[in-house]
Chain A
């Protein structure tokens, strides 16, 4: 093995991130609680520089490293940039929340950054093992983060549930990988793809058997119905900062491994996984949107909303066309920004001893803070897919991908369930604008957070007015 084959240079962002995270782990031990802001700043600095590294390394070409287990291509670059940016926002939103609850500790940032590293490895994986390693690194960080508030019973319960179900999902995924390995004699994704081309038809049964386990594992991680049971409990039980972490960037990474495994690896089995994804997508749309109506807890409502969005993303993937993958990618990026904002508002309203996670806690927000009520209005209408917000364009592009493959009925089903979805998003707007506030205290948060959240909302609006740039970017990735 020579150093050339390692081709280390394209992995600089990951290497930097890993080194800085280890450094943070060490430095944090020597900080007093009053100096804890330093950990925060180091974490933000790390993400920023990582993004710079990614941007500088961007070549638009496909390159492999570590003997072909690690790949950098335009898809990976774009997704990694979004992951880092989203997590940087999560860290901004989290600081006040963590301080108010006396859990402002360096571990949050260390775990968060390790999670980012896991996501980046997932995004760049070109081999089933690197994919699995990335996924486990992310998952383990998240299990610990869910339980981050040690004194909270619900957090501990959520973490246990998440850990057990997540472990089962990982097992499924690993089992699927092993079956695929058994049939194709390889774990490298491009090699699986080539061996599929020369596969005798009678071997298909084994491949499909493995495929089922892979899809079950992926669905668990994405939170698609019927493997969604952990989502509402974990979203609800975890500290809100962690919920905003779990609900945003890891979905992007989940999308990435779906593309890596199903499209790049098992693209030859498209007709087999298409049917499975249709079932998952329709069920996710139905269950997500219908059950969300019954929720009184905003975090649970957003959890079910996430499930329905996953349904939409799967619609784009199952189309099996370049336009479909691009629209799914557009959707997932937009979704992560919307979810970030939605949980950001909860974090904004939370204060010491008050979680602000019930729907009724938003009552009369327009009278307390017209600006942030307007931001939440944008997030809600965007999730509902009402123009001129960017959520509309995400839905439009996915729907048109589905119509393009002559599955008009699927588009109609999706549209039907998004009508149901509109109701619960509208209810949030109704509570903010039409109800009288119960709590009239002023919203006190750092200016930094208020600016970030405003930026987050305006981005949704701006992208809604001019979606062309991001959309073209997503289309160019799969061109």
Chain B
């Protein structure tokens, strides 16, 4: 019954219009009305995204739910939406996380709550549009437009150094993306169209591919973020309000990974092949070095932020290891490469849930104690047993405990890396140890041990609202960990198609 609906347009515009309605509702009477409206709109969007999954045809790699209208005729730019198995799960992740974020900000945000809720709803719409846009300029509009609400969120509701953090965030991302814009314009004059699928088919020389790849790398590496352009992330995370950190970690970083899959690999396969060592080097550095950096953090949010960078390293590793898998004469088929890319995808989704949960857990503590320093805590389990149950579960998922979603993605990527190069796999596998070290050490210092001070002793356990948020995320992590097959099925056809596409040189 949904086949005829402009489902993607609805998904994009419901939250954006909802955001405007919430904005108009204002902050009267403690903004209860605005908050309820925000919750209704976010749940409505989530419900609307479910048919995307149930009606999805897993047998084809073609774009589905396509909508295409002429938008700017002078430049042949189209209003062009469509999803495949790669973008669809990320859209559902977005709609799910936004509901969580609205709930998480319910009582916490005291300053202009209606603007806060509206900013998140508008951002949700923009992010869904980024994942479903099939026209390069259309994509770019949402990609950049997304920065504005995030800039405001960090700047208005953030911590003490919020201004520095938010300007750094904006300028870093902006620098990365404008060169991508020039690359897109260049390709427009080669192919006569901004359609991403036309760009996939566009023949490009090695020189052209090289520079286009670099332009895309600048945009996406900043967004992921990859070492060495990751420095904006810890600042942004630490200063952002909890909801901002959650969206940043759970969704915005995924847009970088998505960009690699949608643009870099299929448009410039030969340059990706030539420069895969660079991306793999950056990824492994992130996995290992940033892991060590996480180990020495005193601030919980910073620790999780670095852990995010480290985990996202797996995503880029999985995406770019495919060329080495093919080059390794021991492999006869594509299956190793499929494993790598699907592992990267699962890792993105799983990290979306886990990092969201980790930041929310820190938010729960911060709302009570107004401190994120590890040294201010200790023995929280004595006063908040239920909360610590959840927190330890998410910490284990972050470490990659089998049975949680964290395990699936990392395991697949490491397994695939073995097919490419033993040493890469070994380095990647090191993260299981380093990750365990920094996560569990934090768990030990914050949740267990003796009660650190009177404030900790006086902590109250989860409210029903917080319990609901935590349980939703825990279920998601557990389901994806125990039974990832439906998600893999969804993306399988698209990933196969992608790999067949990039296996053919464009030269």
| A412 with B72: CB separation less than 8 A | no
Bound-state Cα–Cα, A119 to B181, Å: 36
Task: Known contacts A412-B179, A412-B182, A419-B178; decide if A468 and B74 are in contact (CB<8 Å).
Answer: yes
Bound-state Cα–Cα, A423 to B169, Å: 12
Min CB gap B227→A, angstroms: 22
| A400 with B188: CB separation less than 8 A | yes
> Which A residues lie within 8 Å of B151 (CB)?
426, 429
> Which B residues lie within 8 Å of A6 (CB)?
none
Q: Which residue of A is nearest B179, CB measured?
A: A415
| A386 with B148: CB separation less than 8 A | yes
> Which B residues lie within 8 Å of A400 (CB)?
75, 185, 188-189
Interface residue ranges of B161-217 to A (CB < 8 Å): 162-163, 166-167, 170-171, 174-175, 178-179, 181-182, 185-186, 188-189
Interface residue ranges of B269-301 to A (CB < 8 Å): none
Q: Which residue of B is nearest A399, CB measured?
A: B185
Task: Known contacts A381-B148, A472-B74; decide if A408 and B171 are in contact (CB<8 Å).
Answer: no
| B182 with A399: CB separation less than 8 A | yes
> Which A residues lie within 8 Å of B144 (CB)?
386-387, 392
| A418 with B75: CB separation less than 8 A | no
| A430 with B163: CB separation less than 8 A | yes
Q: Does A5 contact B (CB under 8 A)?
A: no
| B167 with A423: CB separation less than 8 A | yes
Q: Does B145 contact A (CB under 8 A)?
A: yes
| A468 with B71: CB separation less than 8 A | yes
> Which B residues lie within 8 Å of A472 (CB)?
73-74
Min CB gap B12→A, angstroms: 12
Interface residue ranges of B146-163 to A (CB < 8 Å): 147-148, 151-152, 155-156, 162-163
Q: Does B338 contact A (CB under 8 A)?
A: no
| A430 with B155: CB separation less than 8 A | yes
Q: Which residue of B is nearest A327, CB measured?
A: B74
What does the 1/0 interface line of A451-479 toward B look like (CB < 8 Å)? 00000000000000011100110010000
Q: Does B91 contact A (CB under 8 A)?
A: no
Min CB gap A398→B, angstroms: 10
| A403 with B170: CB separation less than 8 A | no
What does the 1/0 interface line of A411-435 toward B look like (CB < 8 Å)? 1100100110011001101100110
Min CB gap A87→B, angstroms: 28
Q: Does A68 contact B (CB under 8 A)?
A: no
> Which B residues lie within 8 Å of A386 (CB)?
144-145, 147-148, 174
| A423 with B171: CB separation less than 8 A | yes
Q: Does A170 contact B (CB under 8 A)?
A: no
Q: Does B140 contact A (CB under 8 A)?
A: yes
Bound-state Cα–Cα, A277 to B481, Å: 61
What does the 1/0 interface line of A348-374 toward B look like (CB < 8 Å)? 000000000000000000100010000
> Which A residues lie within 8 Å of B142 (CB)?
387
| B145 with A387: CB separation less than 8 A | yes
Bound-state Cα–Cα, A399 to B147, Å: 22
Bound-state Cα–Cα, A190 to B175, Å: 45
Bound-state Cα–Cα, A418 to B179, Å: 11
| B182 with A419: CB separation less than 8 A | no
Q: Does B430 contact A (CB under 8 A)?
A: no
Interface residue ranges of B46-73 to A (CB < 8 Å): 70-73
Q: Main secondary structure on chain B at its contact with chain A?
A: helix
Interface residue ranges of A432-447 to B (CB < 8 Å): 433-434
> Which A residues lie within 8 Å of B185 (CB)?
396, 399-400, 403, 411
| A418 with B178: CB separation less than 8 A | yes
| A433 with B155: CB separation less than 8 A | yes
Q: Does B380 contact A (CB under 8 A)?
A: no
| A387 with B163: CB separation less than 8 A | no
Please classify how large the interface on chain A is, using the bins under 10, 10 to 19, 20 to 34, 35 or more.
Answer: 35 or more
| A415 with B181: CB separation less than 8 A | yes
Q: Does B350 contact A (CB under 8 A)?
A: no
Bound-state Cα–Cα, A433 to B150, Å: 13
Task: Known contacts A370-B115, A404-B189, A433-B155; decide if A419 and B174 are in contact (CB<8 Å).
Answer: yes
| B181 with A399: CB separation less than 8 A | yes
Task: Known contacts A400-B188, A404-B189, A433-B152; decide if A388 and B171 are in contact (CB<8 Å).
Answer: no
> Which B residues lie within 8 Å of A418 (CB)?
178
Bound-state Cα–Cα, A326 to B171, Å: 30
Q: Does A397 contact B (CB under 8 A)?
A: yes
Interface residue ranges of B464-482 to A (CB < 8 Å): none
Bound-state Cα–Cα, A388 to B73, Å: 17
| A426 with B171: CB separation less than 8 A | yes
Q: Main secondary structure on chain A at its contact with chain B?
A: helix
> Which A residues lie within 8 Å of B189 (CB)?
400, 403-404
| B163 with A422: CB separation less than 8 A | no
| A422 with B141: CB separation less than 8 A | no
> Which A residues lie within 8 Å of B163 (CB)?
430, 434
Q: B171's contact among A370, A419, A471, by CB below 8 Å, is which?
A: A419
> Which A residues lie within 8 Å of B162 (CB)?
434
Bound-state Cα–Cα, A366 to B119, Å: 14
Bound-state Cα–Cα, A170 to B189, Å: 40
Min CB gap A406→B, angstroms: 9
| B156 with A433: CB separation less than 8 A | yes
Q: Does B137 contact A (CB under 8 A)?
A: yes
Q: Which residue of B is nearest A468, CB measured?
A: B72
Bound-state Cα–Cα, A386 to B74, Å: 20
Min CB gap A128→B, angstroms: 32
Min CB gap A31→B, angstroms: 43
Task: Known contacts A397-B75, A426-B171; decide if A387 and B182 are in contact (CB<8 Å).
Answer: no
Interface residue ranges of B324-355 to A (CB < 8 Å): none
What does the 1/0 interface line of A243-270 toward B look like (CB < 8 Å)? 0000000000000000000000000000
Q: B182's contact among A366, A381, A411, A427, by CB below 8 Å, is which?
A: A411
Min CB gap A253→B, angstroms: 24
| B141 with A388: CB separation less than 8 A | yes
Q: Which residue of A is nearest B162, CB measured?
A: A434
Min CB gap A311→B, angstroms: 16
| A426 with B170: CB separation less than 8 A | yes
Q: B175's contact among A399, A419, A427, by CB below 8 Å, is which?
A: A419
> Which B residues lie within 8 Å of A387 (CB)?
140-142, 144-145
Min CB gap B199→A, angstroms: 15
- Looking at A392, A397, A430, the one whose CB has the most chain B CB atoms below 10 A away is A430
Min CB gap B336→A, angstroms: 38
Q: Which residue of B is nearest A387, CB measured?
A: B141
Task: Known contacts A392-B141, A403-B186; decide if A471 and B147 are in contact (CB<8 Å).
Answer: no
> Which A residues lie within 8 Å of B140 (CB)?
387
Min CB gap B98→A, angstroms: 20
Bound-state Cα–Cα, A408 to B190, Å: 13
Min CB gap B69→A, angstroms: 11
Min CB gap A159→B, angstroms: 37
| A388 with B188: CB separation less than 8 A | no
Bound-state Cα–Cα, A388 to B175, Å: 17
> Which A residues lie within 8 Å of B115 (CB)?
370
| B73 with A468: CB separation less than 8 A | yes
Bound-state Cα–Cα, A114 to B20, Å: 43
Task: Known contacts A387-B144, A468-B73; decide if A422 and B182 are in contact (CB<8 Å).
Answer: no
Bound-state Cα–Cα, A36 to B178, Å: 50
| B182 with A403: CB separation less than 8 A | yes
| B181 with A434: CB separation less than 8 A | no
A-B contact pairs, 21 of them (CB 8 A): A370-B115, A377-B148, A386-B144, A387-B141, A387-B142, A388-B145, A396-B181, A397-B75, A399-B181, A400-B189, A403-B189, A404-B189, A408-B186, A415-B181, A423-B171, A426-B170, A434-B166, A467-B72, A468-B72, A471-B74, A471-B75
Give me 17 other A-B pairs in contact (C-beta within 8 A), A386-B147, A388-B141, A393-B72 excluded. Answer: A377-B148, A381-B148, A387-B142, A392-B141, A392-B144, A397-B74, A400-B75, A400-B185, A400-B189, A408-B182, A411-B185, A412-B179, A415-B181, A415-B182, A419-B174, A422-B170, A471-B72
| Chain A to chain B: the 3 pairs with minimum beta-carbon distance, closest first | A387-B141, A434-B155, A468-B72
